[in-house]
Structure 1
Amino acid sequence: MDAASSPRPRVVLTTLAGVDGRITLRRDQRLLDPAVGGRWREAWPDDVEGLLRRRDAWVEDRHHPTVRLEGSGTFVPDGAVSPWAEPGGPWDHRDHLPRRAPRWFVVVDGRGRMEWTRTGDDETALLLLVCRSTPPGYLARLRELGVGWLVCGERRVELGTALRRLGAELGVRCVRADGGGGINGALVRAGLVDELHVVTMPILVGGAGTPTFLDGDPMAPDGVPVRLRVVATQGGAEGSVWTHYEVVRPSRV
């Protein structure tokens, strides 16, 4: 079955946010920085970790996702430029899948901005989603590391194509989207999210421009909000709440 005719995998979006929707402390600080991540975790009420464990176990038991999807914005600043941005010679735009794995850590990085130090283990392999304008030098570096990629677009990674290709090429039936607001917003705008699992904790961060769990492009001038249906909620002793939503698809006329 080719990608065009392949059904796309189910997409389950998971996130942890304050009641103002913020998922980090500042736009110019990354939670991967131990100092920043430590301050973020210090604010968690005591009930958060238990809710996260129960949520993760439910998603795993119900859907068995084999892909964890992230955007490159989780790892690099907004204005980061690829170290391989200079032309490195032509490439033939073929996919590269040097290994197969039971699970995949998949990152959208069409601009080729990441220098990877970890490429997976025996169970989970790193896989990049790239496009035809991705710097050739970046792909050469991935090949050196033994990391695979799928080509999913011309000037940028087309997420719908990428999901269908994950299904067609790797047999993926469920993707867990666990990234930041950029990738989450792009998935929602493209109508690619099927359900959400949001753990909301009673903290406030605020600040204009502080990332939320749903950022990205603004709604079209004639757009309408995406409707959700609450499937279930579960509260913690300190006021944190895990809410399970399903996306309500527009009725066809």
Structure 2
Amino acid sequence: MQKRPRVVVSMGASVDGKVALTRDALLMHQPSSFLWESMTPPAADPVPIDIIEVLRQQYGCNAILEGSGSLVAEDETPEQLPTYDGDTAGLYQHFLPPDITGQPSPPHMWFTVVDSRGRVRWTEKHPNWDALVLVARSTPADYLGYLRREGICYLVVGEERVDLARGIAALGTELGIRCVLSTAGGGLNGAMLRAGLIDELHLTLAPALIGGLGTPSVMDGPPLAVGEAPTRLQLLSVHTDTGGSVRLHYAVVRHRQVA
């Protein structure tokens, strides 16, 4: 049986663990992107790491994972889609056209997005990359019809929302993916943390402080229950540079089952 794909989280953050400047400002938009880049001195690291290439070499990684919130602001209203007027029953099955899924990897890569609400509108295409959307049975039929018309693959993994454990497992069983790199925000990463899905963490800390109650952090999502233990990490490597950035690499310590 195909093992669950390895999940590696890679995040850039301020020293106080913030991954955005405010909750509502996407880092891909100005002025946030400029301000975020300015936190790290321009000549800070003469040997920058290409994390996706490292993971391709180590684990054959061929999928990146993002949440819809990294692409669409919460207060943004997506373009309305045409009403799907066919039989919707067939929409709620995986959509994996063989001409897309059969491409050799490398070089083929998957850009995977969790989007049960159907908010992302796909306007860009890149060589050797295909979009893959994780949806649920609650996802609007209009959105699933739109994905099919655009030839965008999707996996139906959950009822009211995407079941992350099922979704990650399906990446392995349906597509043979062995390693997933999450570059998502704190909400999705925090949910994966609580689901026990994270295996490694690459964290680069910029020499800056952001602060702010409610500003997204490396791991958001549900808090620990009273008496619940934090997830322990094993430090694998540390790299510092003259500009003040620190690059940390951790493995998640799995709890051993008591006989």
**TM-score, normalised via structure 1 length:** 0.90
Aligned to 1:217: 222
Aligned to 1:210, the other structure's residue is in SS state: coil
Shift of 1:31: 0.8
1:135 to 131, 137, 140: 140
CA deviation string 1:169-212 (max 9, x = no partner): 11100000111001111111100000101011110011111111
CA deviation string 1:207-227 (max 9, x = no partner): 111111111121223421000
Aligned to 1:9: 5
Aligned to 2:96: 97
Range 53-62 or range 16-25, more displaced: 53-62
Q: Tell me the C-alpha RMSD between the 2 structures.
A: 2.1
1:72 to 43, 68, 75: 68
1:27 to 10, 23, 28: 23
What is the alpha-carbon distance in structure 2 between the residues aligned to residue 127 and residue 186 of structure 1? 19
Aligned to 2:49, the other structure's residue is in SS state: helix
Aligned to 2:116: 110
Change (3 A) 1:194 1:121: same
**Aligned pairs, number:** 248
Query: How does 1:127-206 map onto structure 2 within 5 Å?
Result: 127-206=132-211
Conserved 8 A contact 1:68-1:106: yes
2:38 to 14, 22, 42: 42
Structure 2 gaps, min length 5: none
Conserved 8 A contact 2:39-2:206: no
What is the alpha-carbon distance in structure 1 between the residues aligned to residue 82 and residue 130 of structure 2? 28
What is the alpha-carbon distance in structure 1 between the residues aligned to residue 201 and residue 46 of structure 2? 18
Structure 1 gaps, min length 5: none
Aligned to 1:161, the other structure's residue is in SS state: helix
What is the alpha-carbon distance in structure 2 between the residues aligned to residue 227 and residue 76 of structure 1? 32
1:208 to 213, 225, 239: 213
For 1:215, give the aligned amino acid: D
Conserved 8 A contact 1:51-1:242: no
For 2:165, give the aligned amino acid: G
Aligned to 1:137, the other structure's residue is in SS state: helix
Shift of 1:84: 5.8
Aligned to 1:231, the other structure's residue is in SS state: strand
Conserved 8 A contact 1:48-1:201: no
Conserved 8 A contact 2:59-2:179: yes
For 2:36, give the aligned amino acid: W
Change (3 A) 1:76 1:50: farther
What is the alpha-carbon distance in structure 2 between the residues aligned to residue 86 and residue 251 of structure 1? 51
Shift of 1:28: 1.1
What is the alpha-carbon distance in structure 2 between the residues aligned to residue 110 and residue 49 of structure 1? 38
Conserved 8 A contact 1:47-1:240: no
Range 74-83 or range 235-244, more displaced: 74-83
CA deviation string 1:123-148 (max 9, x = no partner): 11001000111000011111121111
Identity of aligned residues (%): 39
Shift of 1:50: 4.8
Change (3 A) 1:23 1:106: same
Shift of 1:47: 5.1
Aligned to 1:204, the other structure's residue is in SS state: coil
Conserved 8 A contact 1:51-1:236: no
